[in-house]
Chain A
Amino acid sequence: NAGVTQTPKFRILKIGQSMTLQCTQDMNHNYMYWYRQDPGMGLKLIYYSVGAGITDKGEVPNGYNVSRSTTEDFPLRLELAAPSQTSVYFCASSYGGGENIQYFGAGTRLSVL
């Protein structure tokens, strides 16, 4: 029962570097989400997708990009990393929209120095 898998678990980036956070789910869920959680804070939605080939912005999309070429994968790309992007990133998936349970990955802890 893999569920939602995120890699890497930890990463340190230098300012200006780029990286891709990987997210894969094996539950055949159509909907996938990326959140960030700053220290001691709640969740903020970055991007989401309702199916392969369809993505949409959340409340904090600046500095990030996503793609959804398959049902299983929803990578998050950080271009030109900044210290403000230091956070824990969570990927989640669900069968459908707001009425459905979201299942979360274990998170990626990112530090930008």
Chain B
Amino acid sequence: AQKVTQAQTEISVVEKEDVTLDCVYETRDTTYYLFWYKQPPSGELVFLIRRNSFDEQNEISGRYSWNFQKSTSSFNFTITASQVVDSAVYFCALGMNRDDKIIFGKGTRLHILP
């Protein structure tokens, strides 16, 4: 069965600290896709990144970086030098090209304290 686990329900850090959001997935497929979405207090879900199972290179985009490790079935998200605007709920998701849907984790609520 396919599954996405975001074990951290809620995290609070002080501004400028680094923070890592964990995502562990389960699938028996060899081809799959991993996603991260951000849901700020305004409510709309915003796509951040998609990574396929054949590309284990880490990705960096500004203060955001993603660490994909197939050996541990993890796709963790790190925010460096966090800012108050990073406060949001972050969702990790898993999709397979044989499926019509993607599977979302339950989300991690991140509070960046000024």
Contact = CB atoms under 8 A, between A and B. Distances in A.
Interface of A: 31, 33, 40-43, 45, 48, 50, 56, 58, 88, 90, 92, 96-107, 109
Size class of the contact patch on chain B: 20 to 34
A106 B43 contact: yes
A31 B96 CA distance: 14
A78 to B, nearest CB: 19
14 contacts: A33-B101, A41-B106, A42-B107, A45-B101, A58-B101, A97-B96, A98-B32, A98-B96, A98-B101, A98-B102, A99-B52, A101-B35, A106-B43, A106-B44
Contacts of A31: 100
B97 A103 contact: no
Interface of B: 32-33, 35, 37, 43-47, 50, 52, 91, 94-102, 104-107, 109
A99 B33 contact: yes
Contacts of A56: 100
B101 A43 contact: no
A42 B45 CA distance: 12
Given A88-B43, A92-B45, 9 more contacts: A42-B104, A48-B100, A58-B101, A90-B45, A98-B96, A98-B97, A98-B99, A98-B100, A99-B96
